[in-house]
Amino acid sequence: MSPISRRRGASRPAPPLVCRWDLDKTYLRSEFETIRQLLRTAFERGEDKVDVPGVAELIKVIREAADRRKQRCRTLFVSASPPQIGKAIRQKLDLDGVPYDGIVFKNQNVAYMVGLAFAIAASANFPAIVLSIFWRPLTTRGAQASMIVGALSALLLIYLSPTIQVSVLGHDSAPFPLKNPGLVSIPLAFVVGMVVSLVSPEGAAAEGFAEVQRRVHLGPEAEEA
C-alpha cells in the first residue's frame, strides 16, 4: 500500500465539541418579580442558587459521550451577571458536580451604567440647583456655566477613565484613575458657578433671590399680602 493510500485510510480525529451555555437563562433560575428579589440574587451563596432541573445532568451526559468517542469537549458558561458574584456561581457548579472550562462575565453591569448616567445628570444640575436655593450671589451666567462645565467635564472624564480606556479600548492604563467622574465634576461645577457669578454680578439676580426666599418661607400668599 502506498503512503498516499495509507494517509487516506487513516481516521481523522474528531473535531472538538464546544458547548456554550447561557448561565442566567439555561442553567440558573434567575426569574424575579420584585426589586427585592433582584437585589437578593447579588448576595446569594452557592448553595442558595437554584438550577434549572435536568440541565446539570445533561451537561454531564454530553461530556461523558464525548469522552467515550475520545472527542475533546469544552463547556463554557456565559453570564450577564457582574464578575463580583463569580465566587458564588463557581461554588454552585462545584456543588452540582458540573465540569466546565471557563465562565465569561460581562465587563459592565446595568447598575454601574445607570450610575454613570446619574453622575452626568448630577454634575449638570445639582450644583446649579443648590446654589440657586442657598447662595444669593448666583447669577444666570453662573448657573449656565455651572451646568455646561458640569456636563462636559463628566463626559470627558468618563472617556478618560478606565471604563473606556481600559475596558473598551484595551489600553493598559487611563489618564483619569477614577471610574466615576462625579467626585471631580460635581465640585468643579460648584466652583465654576460661584466664580462666574462673582466675576459678573447681576443686581436683578440678587433681588430675585430675595423674592424666592420670601416665597419659600412665607408661601405664595405673601405676595398678595
Q: pLDDT tens across 30-62, in order?
A: 766 665 666 676 677 888 888 888 888 999 999
Cα(85)–Cα(94) distance, integer angstroms: 15
Q: Phi/psi at 18 (nearest 5 deg)?
A: -110, 120
Summarize the chain as % helix, strand, coil (round to 5): 60, 10, 30
* Amino acid (one-letter) located at 167: S
Residue matched to cell numbers 462636559: 152
Cα–Cα dist 73/66, whole Å: 6
Q: What is the pTM of this model?
A: 0.51
**Residue scoring higher pLDDT (178 or 164):** 178
Confidence of residue 88 (pLDDT cuts 50, 70, 90): confident
Read off the pLDDT band of 148 (50, 70, 90): very high
Q: What is the mean pLDDT of residues 192-220?
A: 76
pLDDT band at residue 1, thresholds of 50, 70 and 90? very low
Average pLDDT over residues 143-166: 91
Q: Which residue has the higher pLDDT, 129 or 107?
A: 129
Per the listing, cell 456561581 goes with 89
Distance CA 3, CA 167 (A): 52
Q: Residue 27 — pLDDT band, cuts 50, 70, 90?
A: confident
Does pLDDT of 192 surpass 90?
Answer: yes
Higher pLDDT, 74 or 207: 74
The domain ranges of the chain are 15-105, 110-224
- Per the CB < 8 A criterion, the answer to whether 73 and 59 are in contact is no
Q: Does residue 66 carry a pLDDT above 80?
A: yes
205 and 139 in contact (C-beta within 8 Å)?
yes
